[in-house]
């Protein structure tokens, strides 16, 4: 969809207000074309959430992510990779809100979904392990962080 592509270009240029306008337009068009429940609508909700997050509008971003996640789960089930991506975005918002324990729980869910769907040696699993390691590291849980970092490093070697 052209509006989405324009939104992505504007985001890359740092033109977040323009990016938000384009992604909201893409969301409206997706709803008109596909109805209320469709993967493209959920993806558009996610894109709006990403821009709101970039703008520092954390609560608004979380609302969009929660709606997108719920829609992906209804459409594809809890273990779908699109649901995991949105959970990862939600974890980042939780981190930015200082809700570290909730962030770690969310990152664990992302890791679990990716392991079950992709297998234990996939690059996306390594990314989840590194994200989780960082969360543990920032909480001073250094031994837990080291375990996650080493496991992630073992995958990408």
> pTM for this one?
0.92
Domain 1-76 has CATH 1.25.40.10: yes
Query: How many Å apart are CA 149 and CA 157, to the nearest integer?
Result: 12
Terminal CA-CA length for the chain: 37
What are the extents of the domains in the chain? 1-76
Reported as a pLDDT band with limits 50, 70 and 90, residue 70 is very high
Q: 15-56, pLDDT tens digit by residue?
A: 999 999 999 999 999 999 999 899 999 999 999 999 999 999
CA angle 107, 85, 61 (to 5 degrees): 90
**Angle between the N-to-C axes of helices 16-34 and 2-12, in degrees from 0 to 180, rounded to the nearest 10:** 160
What pLDDT, on the 0 to 100 scale, is given for residue 53? 98
Q: What is the pLDDT of residues 92-125, one digit of tens each?
A: 999 999 999 999 999 999 999 999 999 999 999 9
pLDDT at 64 over 90: yes
User: Alpha-carbon torsion 127, 134, 87, 44, what sign?
Assistant: negative
pLDDT of 126 higher than 80: yes
Residue 60 pLDDT: 98
pLDDT value, residue 1: 75
Structure tokens at 137: 């590291």
On average, the pLDDT of the chain sits at 96
pLDDT value at residue 69: 98
């Amino acid at each position: 969809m052209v509006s989405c592509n324009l939104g992505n270009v504007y985001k890359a240029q740092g033109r977040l207000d323009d990016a938000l306008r384009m992604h909201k337009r893409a969301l409206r068009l997706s709803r008109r074309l596909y109805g209320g429940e469709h993967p493209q609508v959920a993806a558009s909700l996610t894109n709006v959430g990403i821009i709101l997050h970039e703008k520092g509008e954390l609560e608004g971003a979380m609302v969009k992510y929660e709606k997108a996640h719920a829609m992906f789960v209804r459409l594809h089930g809890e273990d779908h990779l699109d649901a995991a991506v949105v959970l990862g975005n939600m974890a980042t918002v939780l981190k930015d809100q200082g809700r570290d324990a909730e962030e770690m729980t969310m990152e664990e869910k992302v890791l679990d979904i990716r392991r079950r769907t992709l297998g234990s040696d996939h690059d996306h699993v390594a990314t989840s392990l590194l994200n989780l390691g960082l969360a543990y590291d920032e909480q001073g849980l250094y031994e837990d962080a080291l375990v996650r970092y080493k496991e992630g490093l073992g995958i990408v070697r």
